[in-house]
Amino acid sequence: MLPLASIVQAGGGLIEEALRDHPSTIRGTFQLIGEWLARASEYLQKDEAGLFAEFLFVLLCSVLASTLAFSHKRLSKRRSLGTEDCYVEFLWNDFEVVPKVGEQYEYIVHYPPTKADRGPPEFTISMHNGDIAIPFCVQHDTLNGQARVQFTPRVSGFYTFRLAVEHVPIPGSPFLKRFDPGEPTASHTTVSNFMPVMVTGDRTALQLKLRLRDRYANETFIDDANAARLEKMLRLRVERCDSGKASAVTYSVWRDDVLLNSTTLSVQLPSPGRFRLRLLYDGAPLAKSPRIDVIVVCETRYHALMNYNEEDPTSELNLGESALFSDAQHHQIKCSIRVVPDAGGSGSQVHFIASDKTVAKIAINSSLKVFLRDRTVELANSQGPLRVAVASEHSSLFIYAGLLHLVGRSAGAGKAFEERRDLLAIRVC
């Protein structure tokens, strides 16, 4: 046997050894090289005239194998350092899925915001033993750098989930949230869901529209099994929050048409005043239940109760997708409500923009409070635009108890006007 043929066989042994040390992604390449070397060895043992061709072939294979091994070593080093262009892998702790087979779990992963041309990162989820595939879905919010990874285990047992994010540098570990689909208790109420409303004059009937949906699929979650449970446990509590007057009324919110993903409830309040609405599930305040999300709106998505004018202080104005304001001559001005990020990145602003671009300025006094999800922000500037101190969290904004100051020109007659109104409540979703 020729010396070079022996080298080929020795090279094949090195390839087999490398196969045991490298991951499956490179394994197939080494297997292919090994097959080539085996066939070349058989051919060269019969044809000793191909010494030069044999030498070139072995040299090429050696260089290729060395390059792949070096690349894998460098890739592994980058993975541990967490640098750019790496394959980042986070190992999460084991947890038991007994007996909650078929229930949904969720992980929230934060990553740096990506550009539009780059697209969202790629996520892969695997078990520690790799024998059972877990179906999952990912909902990306690339603007805020967040992804919701949701999956449903099909078998009981202990799992170790690994989340691999490709080509995205992630500083530190992602924020991990285990989604426990157990019965709702007070421990689940992390966000207050109260909605303060003002009822004046003889308008003691309040129309509430409830929407029940799956928090994640945006579809109706109610089925036969959950319908009976909700009918017994879901209640609406109306609490009076006027000073010195403590009273509460609890209503059942169940209606047959809730299966159609919405129901309308007419609440008869005992008397005019300021009230707080709370949703209760099995006696505990309900903010975000594990499997359902109950949204309370008053007739429209944008809702306001305000004094219309001094002559009729009991009248109400409901804001739709556009707000209708009236000047002193009762000319209506259509204004849209927008919450936009501040150019400096320090917060957000609320803009009231007229359809004909004539409203020059809207100022809200410093007594206004902003309820931004579970945070309350006091306004400091009495003349400037409304500034929200929390950036990128303006999807649900609640403005309450303030003075609305409109300055501009009416859309009808084109006359200048200036008007002040007591603003009781505006909800912008």
pLDDT digits (tens, 9 = 90+) for 186-219: 222 222 233 344 444 444 455 555 544 433 333 4
Supply the pLDDT for residue 42: 65
Q: Where are the beta strands (DSSP E) in 189-262?
A: 195-199, 205-214, 234-240, 248-252
Structure tokens at 188: 């689940």
Largest CA distance in the chain: 112
Residue with tokens 């990874």: 149
Of the ranges 80-94, 131-145, 346-360, which one carries the lowest mean pLDDT score? 80-94
Residue 305: pLDDT over 60:
no
Supply the pLDDT for residue 229: 53
Supply the pLDDT for residue 237: 67
Q: Is 142 helix (H, G, I), strand (E, B) or coil?
A: coil
Could you tell me which residue, 27 or 171, shows the higher pLDDT? 27
Q: What is the mean pLDDT of the chain?
A: 45
Residue with tokens 């409109």: 406
Alpha-carbon distances, residue 135 vs 24, 104, 213, 284 (angstroms): 21, 11, 22, 33
Question: Region 62-77: what's the mean pLDDT?
Answer: 52
Structure tokens at 23: 């991951």
Supply the pLDDT for residue 382: 34
How would residue 5 be classed by pLDDT, with cut points 50, 70 and 90? low
What does the alpha-carbon distance between residue 386 and residue 378 come to, in Å, rounded to a whole number?
10
Supply the pLDDT for residue 346: 36
Question: Region 232-255: what's the mean pLDDT?
Answer: 59
Question: Region 276-293: what's the mean pLDDT?
Answer: 49
Supply the pLDDT for residue 282: 57
What does the alpha-carbon distance between residue 253 and residue 237 come to, in Å, rounded to a whole number?
10
Residue 144: pLDDT over 60:
yes
Question: Region 105-121: what's the mean pLDDT?
Answer: 57
Please measure the distance between the N-terminal and C-terminal CA atoms of the chain and give it in whole angstroms: 81
What does the alpha-carbon distance between residue 104 and residue 153 come to, in Å, rounded to a whole number?
7
Supply the pLDDT for residue 244: 54
**Interval 20-56: pLDDT, tens:** 444 444 555 566 666 666 666 666 666 555 655 665 6
Residue 79: pLDDT over 60:
no
Residue 279: pLDDT over 50:
yes
Residue 140: pLDDT over 60:
yes
Nearest one of 289, 312, 324, 296 to 197, comparing CA atoms: 296
Question: Region 364-377: what's the mean pLDDT?
Answer: 33
Amino acid at 163: L
Supply the pLDDT for residue 339: 37
Supply the pLDDT for residue 364: 34
Supply the pLDDT for residue 283: 57
